[in-house]
């Protein structure tokens, strides 16, 4: 595959690996975490996002839609009748015609050459800062063929590359290239398989199995990322259990990612329900106490 669906490319990032980096967000993820702050990353197809605050009710989108998937109500507000139709549409006349950018498409296909050209333009910043590229998503490792080939471009130019993964990928397709990454941010939500399935839509069996494989190859390059979600994996002591688990696998780096609701408004734009809008932010004081307890077990732990 010489192209893949990407929903964002962010330059000059400083929190997703060493130095100044470019973040490449590949679209599509096998998980459906109820707290996901990037719901536009989940589906393996381009999607329409609608922001009603920008809509001027000109109804160009309604008149141009070839499938009649858009209409308007008595107040003139735009209504998307069937998002499934929109996902299959290749014309996207509605997004192109909207004068206020109230309708836009999320996700487009990039070739190796396009992506590499953009990344190489920042090569001076990478060299001077010790930075590089971080592949994120969605789940970037669910695009193994594209990732494999794209890594060849980066290696030839001596550009550092890391990856952020939920761990749900096919080991057989990644085994030969996983060691190429300079670092891996590896998500572990909780260890209980039934609760994991309830909050993410999938069991964690494959995730933990893959973690075992990766930790045998490159334990020093793994940073475990734990999203801290009140009511889901804080009170039950999951974080301490995760720390014990990764230590037994020879991994000693962990970062805690406190829950936030910054992505809540994205769900409305995608026509979806944000199911945990009542949830409070994580208590940073309690997190500091957890961090100190984890550090006592010789694990480098911090809050981001």
| Digitized pLDDT (tens) for each residue of the chain, 304 residues in all | 689 999 999 999 998 999 999 999 999 999 999 999 999 999 999 999 999 999 999 999 999 999 999 999 988 999 999 999 998 888 889 999 999 999 999 999 999 899 999 999 999 999 999 999 999 999 999 999 999 999 999 999 999 999 999 999 999 999 999 999 999 999 999 999 999 999 999 999 999 999 999 999 999 999 999 999 887 777 657 899 999 999 999 999 999 998 888 888 899 999 999 888 655 555 555 788 889 989 988 999 999 9
Domain 3-43+108-303 matches domain 47-106 at the CATH topology level: no
For the chain, what are the domain ranges?
3-43+108-303, 47-106
* Nearest Cα residue to 41 out of 31, 54, 51: 31
C-alpha 51: how far from chain center: 21
What CATH code would you report for 47-106? 3.30.70.20
Q: Which fold has domain 3-43+108-303?
A: TIM Barrel (3.20.20)
Q: Name the pairing type of β-strands 160-165 and 183-187.
A: parallel
Angle between helices 144-156 and 112-120 (to 10 degrees): 40
């Amino acid at each position: 595959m010489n192209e893949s669906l990407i929903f964002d490319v962010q330059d000059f990032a400083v929190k997703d690996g060493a130095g100044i980096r470019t973040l490449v967000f590949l679209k599509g993820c096998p998980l459906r975490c109820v707290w996901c702050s990037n719901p536009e990353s989940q589906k393996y197809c381009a999607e329409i996002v609608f922001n009603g605050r920008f809509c001027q009710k000109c109804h160009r989108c309604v008149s141009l839609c070839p499938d009649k998937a858009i209409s308007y109500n008595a107040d003139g507000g735009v209504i998307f009748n069937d998002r499934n139709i929109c996902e299959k549409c290749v014309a996207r006349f509605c997004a192109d015609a909207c004068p206020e950018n109230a309708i836009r498409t999320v996700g487009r296909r990039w070739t190796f050459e396009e992506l590499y050209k953009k990344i190489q333009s920042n090569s001076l910043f990478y060299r001077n800062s010790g930075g590089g590229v971080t592949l994120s998503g969605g789940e970037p490792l669910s695009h193994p063929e594209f990732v494999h080939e794209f890594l060849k471009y980066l290696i030839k130019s001596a550009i550092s590359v890391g990856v952020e993964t939920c761990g749900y990928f096919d080991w057989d397709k990644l085994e030969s290239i996983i060691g190429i990454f300079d670092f891996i941010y590896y998500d572990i939500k909780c260890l209980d398989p039934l609760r994991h399935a309830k909050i993410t839509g999938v069991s964690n069996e494959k995730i933990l199995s893959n973690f075992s494989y990766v930790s045998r190859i490159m334990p020093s390059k793994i940073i475990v990322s734990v999203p801290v979600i009140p009511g889901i994996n804080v009170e039950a002591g999951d974080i301490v259990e995760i720390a014990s688990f990764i230590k037994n696998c020879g991994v000693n780096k962990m970062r805690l990612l406190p829950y936030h609701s910054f992505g809540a408004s994205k769900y409305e734009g995608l026509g979806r329900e944000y199911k945990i809008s009542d949830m409070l932010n994580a208590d940073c004081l309690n997190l500091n106490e957890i961090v100190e307890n984890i550090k006592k077990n010789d694990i480098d732990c911090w809050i981001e």
